[in-house]
Structure 1
Amino acid sequence: MSDAKTRAAAPAQLSLLSVLAFACAYMPFAALQLSVAVQLPPFFASQLGLGLAAGAAFGVVRLIDIPVDPALGLFMDKTKTPIGRYRPWMIAGAPILMLALYMLYQAPPGITERYLVVWLLVVYLGMSILLVAGNSWASTLATSYKARSRIFGAMLALGVVGTVTALLIPVIFEKTGRTELSGMRAVGWFLFVMSPIAILIALVSTPERLVKSPPGHRFRVSDYFRLLSRGNVLRILAADFCVTMGPGWMAALYFFYYRQSRQISLSDASLLLTLYILAGLIGGPATAWLGNRISKHRALIVSTTLYSLMLIIIPLMPRGDAKLYAAPMIILGALATGFVVMVRAITADVGDELRLQGGRDLIGLLYAVTSATTKAAGALAIFVSYALLNSVGFNARPGALNGPDQIHGLDLIFILGPIAFVMLGGASFLGYALTADKHAEIRRELDERDAAIEGEAAVLQGLTGETAGAAASRS
């Protein structure tokens, strides 16, 4: 195989402007992920009157929704249309998401758990379509070890922009004397308007490259089971579950903890959370830089360890002074974004390894099963943390008074669970062997094979054309 053919098979690197345009699609998704984890549970529990039963509804829906992602991954890997493989799925996901956004954020007081369950299922369907399609598409846009850190870092960074805006809206409403309820309504309208605009920017400005598979390969349901038998896939799933579970656990309890245990106002707590999210603008690129120098899995281990150590400091700090919590929250936010970037980038690398060894492009399937573990972690984070709060007698309703025992229970629940899970997430990659050098060799072999497949297809097309021409001349 000549070097010229190998270079021809490899896609050109996207410009920074193209990377940012594609990353726009992650803005509404990241904002909604944060809002669903942090804002919606207390919104339904307190403002709409469901109490801690709202936690059970969120947990049950996430568990029900888990099988959707593997099914989507299989369908996406089989999709071939004139406009691409992933583009039509993102077009389909946008209106589903918008309908659910309206029904959830504009829900009237007094709604039932059934109402919440139905529309959570719809919003998670829209989120699943956009997440699986977006991550899979990103992995085909960036094929090198370093480029993947770059594009996933950009996605997380622009996600920060959307997330911070969603967090600041309730703060602005509180500062101007309006209610928490009206602030959450405004968050819903912001997401409703931003989603189609951001997705449209990505759709019209981003090329899509269809990865070739060798002739004779077909996708089968058994691919799921083969996928789950691979050691590196199991590492990814374990790490993804744990690094989602830890921050998700904190997110579910965040406003309860800072308002009642740390004695910080809603607006100040929201601003601290904004700093946590904004730190991702530094944490994502910084961890990508570190990963390209010491390897991605080592950067993940470093970030999860530092995160857990920093989290220990929070309960030791004085209550009531929000300014003291700013620096720890910035550090925690930077580290949290970093280990999410690393897990996503490592997943794309493992997808290349699987394609080289098995002949099939299973990246959609791989991101689908990781999305399923993310959902499982998100479900259990809310379900378990709310159940533990209930077990210590904590009352989540507006104006409720909780005694010292309930506050102490809240302190322990908020800190211990996240520390344990985040440390386990980093430990999942001890002994990992897919380094930058090994991945470069995998990419070289894949590019050569892709060039060979394209060459064979061109030869067959030429022979078909010659046969058709000869038949036409005889007639």
Structure 2
Amino acid sequence: MANPAPGGQNRLPLHVVMAFASTALPVAAIGLVMGVYLPRFFASAVGLSLAAVGGAFTIVRLIDMALDPLLGMAMDRTRTRFGRYRVWLSIGAPIVMAAVYMLFMAKPGITEFYLIGWLLVLYLGISIVTLSQAAWGASLATGYHDRSRVYGLIQAVGVVGAVLILLLPMALGPKAAGAAGVHAMGWFCIIAVPIALFICLSLTPERVATDVAKERVTLNDYISLVRRPEMARLIFADLFMALGPGTTAALYLFFFHDARGYSHQQTNFLLVLYIAAGLVGAMFWGWLAQKVGKHRALMISTVCYAISQSALMLIPPATMPLAIPGMISVGFVSSAFILIVRAMVADVADEVRLETGKERVGLLYALVTTTQKIGTAITVGISFTVLDLVGYNAAEGAVNTPAAIRGLELCYVFAPIILVFFGGAAFIGWKLDAKRHAEIRRKLDERDALAAEAGLLDAVAGASVAVQAPH
């Protein structure tokens, strides 16, 4: 299934990686609409207030952030003849489809409780799909550098999904304006989910470690993982790297249309370029992580993000020739954050399994997906509340005061820079590099081989062989 790579590590065939990454396409498309279009859709087309929309997203995220650890524990305990993560992926897909329909097709007159309820269902489905894919990827790709490659391709496929969802309203023309565009995006996602699921489940194998302990996963396991220095750093960094781009996603349409004077068509086009730049960026940052190490690549990306994000304020309003390279550079840089952190979590999972003999991949990924949810809750809730306090009016055709526009600009441009810098600082002095991980994988592979040999002897001769971890 895997081809040898330099350094003795296995390299997954490209067709396996692409099939596995296919589910990232609809998930990324849904995530983009949720972060950029859905808040505005409910605040303008559906008729809810900014405070109500921001409050709904915050409430849902605060409730939902406790869900991922429970899902991670359940995944780590799952044993079926169909595999562990493919079962969860199959459960999450129909939940996502139902919630997308109820939210993306919402009509004027719904209440905040309707929004909260179906957001909870959607986030449940998305959590199951993204968490099962992330944990499955850690067991699928075992090499330090191959993980950068695999998670980079997952990110790239997600970018394709985001670009397609952005191009859809543009392809449909004026009839897809406003609410009609969100409806079209909803149908795209509903159709894409089962297609991607079929491709992934049909072509992707699933590995299960031979030395996995069968005991229950408890709250103490969760606490012990959070207290690990490497994991604590990743959680902190992932939170702040989610807060930065999360703030810009929630305010993007308001910033470029109302504060910078671009038309709706120009705003959509700039967003397409921003997302599309992430396709090249994902490949570049995955490559750079293999050359200089994942933690160094992340620190470099935070500095580049600060430079490119600051440049947006230097561009004169309604100046497309300058806005185009500006948005491309920001999209290129910000594509590094999620993919490298996810690859680093897989390395920590190997270290945990070596030291404890326990498979905790699902729970480890639950920790970082929870930080993503916390980041989204804080950005949407706080940003929309601040805009409401400064008097910003989100209604179509509304005229805002200079003070309201200035508050919008400060929230969009400078707050994310500070947040992302905090995330990059977390990797100063990082120890789990390629050399350390190669030693961990060597010991795990030796132990797995001994365990397989012991199992074979047990089956053939009834012998009982004690397996000791190599030192």
Place the TM-score, normalised by the shorter chain, in its bin: over 0.9
**In the alignment, does 2:433 pair up with 1:435?**
yes
**In the alignment, does 2:373 pair up with 1:375?**
yes
Secondary structure of the residue aligned to 1:228 is helix
The answer for the alignment partner of 1:164 in structure 2 is 163
Post-superposition shift, 1:323?
2.8
Alignment of 1:229-378 (within 5 A): 229-378=227-376
Aligned 8 A contact 2:10 2:142 in 1: no
The answer for the alignment partner of 2:460 in structure 1 is 462
Change (3 A) 1:333 1:458: same
Query: What 5-or-longer segments of structure 2 have no aligned partner?
Result: 465-471
CA distance in 1, matches of 2:38, 2:295: 33
CA distance in 1, matches of 2:48, 2:347: 43
Post-superposition shift, 1:219?
3.0
The amino acid of 1:27's aligned partner reads L
Alignment of 1:384-463 (within 5 A): 384-463=382-461
CA distance in 2, matches of 1:65, 1:347: 21
Aligned 8 A contact 2:61 2:377 in 1: yes
The amino acid of 1:252's aligned partner reads A
Post-superposition shift, 1:166?
1.1
The answer for the alignment partner of 2:83 in structure 1 is 84
The answer for the alignment partner of 1:133 in structure 2 is 132
Aligned counterpart in structure 2 of residue 212 of structure 1, from 210, 213, 218: 210
Aligned 8 A contact 1:217 1:359 in 2: no
Q: Count how many residue pairs are aligned between Structure 1 and Structure 2.
A: 457
The answer for the alignment partner of 1:38 in structure 2 is 36
Secondary structure of the residue aligned to 1:84 is coil
Per-residue CA deviations over 1:23-63 (Å, capped at 9, x if unaligned) read: 10111111111111111000111111102021110111011
Secondary structure of the residue aligned to 2:227 is coil
Alignment of 1:99-114 (within 5 A): 99-114=98-113
Q: State percent identity of aligned pairs.
A: 44
Secondary structure of the residue aligned to 1:342 is helix
Change (3 A) 1:38 1:214: closer
Secondary structure of the residue aligned to 2:206 is coil
What TM-score results when the alignment is normalised by the length of structure 1?
A: 0.93
**In the alignment, does 2:180 pair up with 1:182?**
yes
The amino acid of 1:64's aligned partner reads I
What TM-score results when the alignment is normalised by the length of structure 2?
A: 0.94
CA distance in 2, matches of 1:189, 1:295: 40
Larger radius of gyration: 1
CA distance in 2, matches of 1:79, 1:12: 26
CA distance in 1, matches of 2:20, 2:175: 38
Post-superposition shift, 1:248?
0.6
Per-residue CA deviations over 1:147-179 (Å, capped at 9, x if unaligned) read: 001110110001011111111223334x43543
The amino acid of 2:122's aligned partner reads V
Alignment of 1:35-74 (within 5 A): 35-52=33-50, 53-74=52-73
Aligned 8 A contact 1:13 1:142 in 2: yes
The amino acid of 1:255's aligned partner reads L
Per-residue CA deviations over 1:69-99 (Å, capped at 9, x if unaligned) read: 0000000001110110101101111111100
Post-superposition shift, 1:350?
1.0
The amino acid of 2:295's aligned partner reads H
Post-superposition shift, 1:218?
4.8
Per-residue CA deviations over 1:230-269 (Å, capped at 9, x if unaligned) read: 0100111011111111001000000000001110011111
CA distance in 1, matches of 2:184, 2:409: 31
Per-residue CA deviations over 1:102-126 (Å, capped at 9, x if unaligned) read: 1001111121101100000000000
The amino acid of 1:140's aligned partner reads S
Aligned 8 A contact 1:51 1:397 in 2: no
CA distance in 1, matches of 2:176, 2:138: 43
Query: What 5-or-longer segments of structure 1 have no aligned partner?
Result: 1-6, 467-475
The amino acid of 1:153's aligned partner reads G
Aligned 8 A contact 1:287 1:339 in 2: no
CA distance in 2, matches of 1:169, 1:215: 47
CA distance in 1, matches of 2:420, 2:170: 29
Secondary structure of the residue aligned to 1:279 is helix
Change (3 A) 1:215 1:115: closer
